[in-house]
Chains A and B, each alone.
Chain A
Amino acid sequence: MNEAYKTAISRFLMIAVISSVVILAVKFMRFYSLKYADRVASNYLDNITGGYIALDEYYGFVSAVGNLGFSVQLSVDRYDGTYYDHYDITDIDSVAVLRNGLQYFILKDRDFVTVTLVKKGVTIRESRTMHGSGVLK
């Protein structure tokens, strides 16, 4: 095997190893950002107490997860004993009430609150059910 051939193989292997390390690092980061965003969503829902969703807090959460590249959708499913309602929190005008200049979405007992995170075809949902105590479980 002549020297030029050896050098070419050596360079090819080196480039292959370096590029694969870079690709893997990017994949790892994507996976762990997914898990991190999921944890942020879980913490956000855990911190909703008092029976309402404060929209300024919600948009703070949207911003935090948006920085990780995820789009967020928050929705509430409600059953009043006769039919189901589905509220999309982005439709602020129809769902929010004003209190002290801030907007709130008032939750009711047994409301099913869902946070949906979407990024490049990946969808993860986190949900909690409102209990009479005003705490999501």
Chain B
Amino acid sequence: MNQNILDPTEFIDRATTLMKSSYVFTRRIISALYFSLFNYWAYKTFHDQGIKGKGPNHDKFDHKDFSRTLIENNLGPQIVLLYKYRVLVDHYLLDPNIIEVWDKEVAKIIREDKIKVNINESILEKIINSAKEILNWLKYNY
């Protein structure tokens, strides 16, 4: 299997041009950006680094390990932003919605207007740029 077969460079370029064409495209492409990077990371982990995952073929990897790898390598804001929005578009329906704060005691401290978010032009730019920064790191440094 070609080492670069899951390199999402072209996908990300083409997908981001379609991102604003309709609301369904926007939501689905946010999710696809995340998963294209996750797949690429898993593929490089398996092939380039020789690390075994789970499952009968040892090719199933955890999202937590993907995130932790990026966090460890100075891409915390990029993966946190992308993951939070990926969860919003895959698991929640309403827009605007809220960024979930898990710890109830912390959630009580933070005002609701601080966690209310929507999908707008500005956030799409941040998501696209974050995806590209993660891609570059995976491509050239991982």
Report if A and B associate in a common complex.
Answer: no
Name B's A-contacting residues (CB within 8 A). none
